[in-house]
Amino acid sequence: MWATRASSITAAWSAAPQADDALIARLDGIIYDLQTGEGDYGLTKNPSREFQRQLAQLKLVWESMKTAIPLVRTGQAPTAALYDLSQQHFELADQLVLYAEQNSTGKLARSIAFYFGSLVLLIAGFAIFQKKSQRELEQSVSTDKLTGLLTRAGFETKAAQLLRRERRWDWPGQDEPLVQESAWRLLL
């Protein structure tokens, strides 16, 4: 019985090509790509065991469908059997796509978290470096590199700071020349 059925399947496949034969070959290629990561479609193999287990189930149903298609074409099998197999195939395919989507969403979330964490660290490092560079620049503008003494710009800045501080303290007689002169001497 099986030999007769197998020979009729072979005869049906070798008969005139049908319009959906290209689609059947394409689905074979997609399953192969998903299992191996190699092939004409450039699909990546998902290394998850659960994904590969579900894909193996899908392939078994697909192989059953491919066996049923020529039998339905030649009238040796009812279309209801092929319909049931295709329903089972689409349910498995939906589960497989959902699993792959959830898996890739988790990977995407981890990648985004890593990216933003790296970005925050990079910005913090840049801010620290910029603050340090700004202090060094301000120091080089206000200090003579050879002697280490204040330059004129540094002296004027320091004097202005001391005078502002003196005004905040509100010393009695701060407008008198002696107080102003003693403030300038603090700088020296």
DSSP letters of 28-43? HHHHHHHHHS-STT-P
What pLDDT is attached to residue 179? 54
CB 46 within 8 A of CB 100: yes
DSSP string covering the chain: -HHHHHHHHHHHHHSSPPTTHHHHHHHHHHHHHHHHS-STT-PPPP--HHHHHHHHHHHHHHHHHHHHHHHHHTTSS-HHHHHHHHHHHHHHHHHHHHHHHHHHHHHHHHHHHHHHHHHHHHHHHHHHHHHHHHHHHHHHHHB-TTT--B-HHHHHHHHHHHHHHHHHHT-TTTTSHHHHHHHHHHH-
The segments of the chain whose pLDDT lies below 50 read: 1-14
What pLDDT is attached to residue 7? 46
Distance separating alpha carbons of residues 71 and 26, to the nearest angstrom = 20
What pLDDT is attached to residue 89? 92
What pLDDT is attached to residue 178? 53
| Neighbouring C-alpha atoms within 13 Å toward the C-beta of 163 | 10
What pLDDT is attached to residue 1? 41
Question: Nearest CA to 84 among 65, 97, 66?
Answer: 65
CB 163 within 8 A of CB 156: no
What pLDDT is attached to residue 177? 54
pLDDT tens-digit map of 81-104: 889 999 999 999 999 888 888 888
